[in-house]
Structure 1
Amino acid sequence: MDSQLKSDFEKSKSGDKDERYEAYQNILKITDEKVDWAYEVWDRLLEDLTHKDNHQRSRAAQYLANLAKSDPEKRMMKDFPKLWEVTKDEKFVTARHSLQSIWKVGIAGPSQNEMVMDYMVERFKNGTDEKNYTLIRNDILQNMRNLYDHFNDEAIKQTALDLIDTVDDKKYRKKYLAIFK
């Protein structure tokens, strides 16, 4: 990892708002591709998933989701439950940002994709007691759409359509179906 990126990781935790945001954007852009330094920050990001600052939790979750493709040891298979917990954060904006990036773990490989799909299916089916569950369901289906677009795997699309078929509310069923049109 170069000194600029080390600096961005530090700036994404401190400094003024504009500086933090610029560093955050740069880290996400760089981690959109495979990198060879993921394990240099991995454990620190895992710790930050439970940081007292919700912004830190959100950023750590998004960075880890992006870094999953740069994880040849498949640490994410063991660490995913910690990442998934942030998708249920007490701060809804933190939970939502984390959930919206979770699909990126799935593109790391077949076992990661299967794991992410299993977690999302279970939450879609059993998360109706959560606050804002219709938004959470929407994000889950959008994640499935992103995975479908990445893999062009009809099984992912069919899973999503099967879940949508279980929705009784016609308004939401229509909204969810629009994600796959």
Structure 2
Amino acid sequence: MKELLTSISKCDICKAKLELGPRPIVSADINSKIVIIGQAPGSIVHKSGIPWDDKSGENLRAWMGIDNDIFYNPEIIALIPMGFCYPGRGKSGDLPPTKECAPLWHHKLLDTMNNVELILLIGTYAQKYYLGDQLKRTLTDTVKHYKKYLPDHFVLPHPSPRNNIWQAKNAWFKKEVIPQLQDSVRSIIAS
């Protein structure tokens, strides 16, 4: 795993596309029990070099019911984005994750992990890549049917503060999905 993470840290395959240059951000261990697959680091995370070190990360940790010590312990949680580097800014927010990372690195990372019990698929990019034709028509429908993807995958919207409107319109998410997520996470951590 150490060699693999070193190789990823040196990756510059999409250098020409990256507004701020390559800075792959990933955290994993052969013993990781939960894998979080999100979109791509934002500009704040690009600067700090710490995955999910922003408001989205705070929201995600709250949804999961865990603190920073557990979240940032790679023996418990692996943090693997669809695109490992900050993709740059677009008209209405960050650009989509680059498409090179997942096919190049994800299977190598996942094949190295022996104890994965759950993969959280956060947002449409991760869900499309991993669920393919099992994906529902909209993100809302996919998340509503989260039980369909268990026990291997837990689907979630992106925890960005930009999605507060979505959460307000979909009160069932906090009532039904979050408690199930916290139960699953608690159970895996305890095992």
TM over 0.5, shorter chain: no
User: Which structure carries more helix by proportion?
Assistant: 1
Q: Decide which structure has greater strand share.
A: 2
> Which structure exhibits the higher relative contact order, with contacts defined as CA atoms closer than 8 Å and separated by 6 or more residues?
2
TM-score, with normalisation over the residues of structure 1?
A: 0.32
